[in-house]
Amino acid sequence: MKLAIIAHDGKKAEMVRFLTDHTAFLQRNDVKLVATGTTGSHVEKAGLDVHKVESGPRGGDAQIAAMVTEGLIDAVIFFRDPLDKHPHEPDIAMLMRICDVHNIPLATNQASAGLIIRGLE
């Protein structure tokens, strides 16, 4: 199972906490993490294994969308910061649209991410 993880700057610590809180699930189900570059660096520092693509502003959101299109991603957790502007907003919207087109579960906050984890268990 492959889980894509992305977090805006103000949500990276929250993403790391979420993943460390669910380490047992990740290990038990042999979940492979794929992350945008900066988010992946934070996750690595927490001791988790992750495959990193480019950072979001450098095309990482688009890379993950391509992986969704190719059937390589089973779910996406994207902790967005709705109170901040993001220069790569078109890529973010495209990723969310691609998840809808391909019927891939997409969580944009801790509550929905927790439901995805419970559903995958």
Name the residues annotated as catalytic.
Answer: 61
| DSSP collapsed to 3 states, 42-104 | HHHHCCCCCEECCCHHHCHHHHHHHHHHCCCCCEEEEECCCCCCCCCHHHHHHHHHHHHHCCC
Q: Please tell me the distance from the alpha carbon of residue 20 to that of residue 89, in angstroms, as a whole number.
A: 28
Q: Please tell me the distance from the alpha carbon of residue 7 to that of residue 48, in angstroms, as a whole number.
A: 16
Q: Quick count: other Cβ atoms within 10 Å of Cβ 46?
A: 14
